Amino acid sequence: MRYRNLGTSGLEVSVLGLGTNAFGGRADKDTSLRVLRHALYQGITFMDTANIYTGTKSEEIIGEAFEGRRQEVILATKAGMKRGEGPNTKGSSRQHIISELEGSLKRLRTDYIDLYQIHAFDPKTPLEETLRALDDLVSSGKVRYVGASNYSAWQMMKALSVSERQQLIKYVSVQPGYSLADRGVERELVPFCADQGIGIIPYFPLAGGILTGKYSGGSVPSGSQLEKNPNFAKRMDTARLELGDRVASIAAEIGTSATALSLAWLMHRPAVSTVIAGATRESQIDENLKAVSLDLTPDVLQALDEASAEFIYAPPFGSAPLRK
C-alpha cells in the first residue's frame, strides 16, 4: 500500500480508501465485517462513512469491526444530510453538527473522529457558525481534522477565507464526485485544491460500475447497482457506456482491468489524496488494490484523457445536495 498526506495536513491516508455506503444494505452485516477487516489487512486504512448511510448501520458495523483496533484506522464520517422530520434535523448549524457527532461517536465506538466532514453546503447557516462549531470540536479532542463534501470551488474558497479571518480550523479536504465519466470538477475545483493544498477524495470513482466494464453490451449483472436500484438507469447514458467500453479496451491493451485502470487514473490526478471505492465482496478489494501499483505511462494517460474529455463539460454523474 502507498500512503499520502491528506492535502497539506500531516494526516497520512492510504491512497486507496474504502467507501462503506453499502454496508448494512447491499452487503449484509457479516459480509461487511469481512470486507472491512480484509481491507485493513491489505493496508487500506482510510474508511469513509456518513451518519445517513443505510440508516446509520454503516457506522454501527464499522464500530464493531474495529473495536479494539481503533488506532489502526483513519475513520472519516459526515453530517449535514436530513436525519429526521422537524427542525434541526439537517444542515450545518452548531446544533445539528454537535448532536450528530455524538451519535456517530457512539455508533463507531470511539471517542474521536479522524476526519469530520460537512456532507453538503448549507446556504441557510453562516459559515462562521459551522466553522466555529468544528473548531470547538477539534479543540475538545473529539475531532482531529475537518473537511467538506459536495462543495464547489467558490464555497471552499469562502470557507477558507472565513477560517483565516476568524482564525478557525480550516478544511483540509473535499469530497466531490470524480471519475473518468465525471470530470466537471477539473474546471474549477481541482485547480483550486492544487493551489490551496486541499486534498481531494473522489467518490463514485467507477461511476457506479460503468468504468468496470461490467455493463458492456447492455448487460445487467446480478447484484449490480442497476439491478438493485432501477433509478440508477438514468445515469447510464450512451456516451458513458461507450466510455466504459473504451476504458476496458485500453485496459486490455496494457494487461490490466478496467477497474484498476480507472482508479489508477484518479490516483495520478493533481491534488487527489485518496480514492474511496466501495466493495461488497473481499474479491472487489483485491481487484481495487491492483490500481495502487499500476504506473501509467504518458501515452496511456493521454489516451484516457482524450477518451473522457467530453465529460469535463457534461452534467455531473451524481451529487448529494442538501436534502430538503
Calpha distance 305→311 (Å, rounded): 10
Calpha distance 234→202 (Å, rounded): 21
The reply to whether 53 belongs to the active site is yes
Question: 53, 151, 178, 215: which is the annotated catalytic residue?
Answer: 53
Contact assessment for residue 195 and residue 153, using Cβ atoms and an 8 Å cutoff: no
Calpha distance 19→34 (Å, rounded): 14
Question: E-strand spans in 52-109?
Answer: 74-79
Cell numbers representing residue 304 in the block: 484516457
In Å, how far from its chain's centre is CA 23?
Answer: 15
Query: Considering just the CA atoms, what is the radius of gyration of the chain in Å?
Result: 19
Cell numbers representing residue 149 in the block: 463534501
Contact assessment for residue 271 and residue 190, using Cβ atoms and an 8 Å cutoff: yes
Calpha distance 183→177 (Å, rounded): 8
Calpha distance 68→95 (Å, rounded): 31
Active site residues: 53
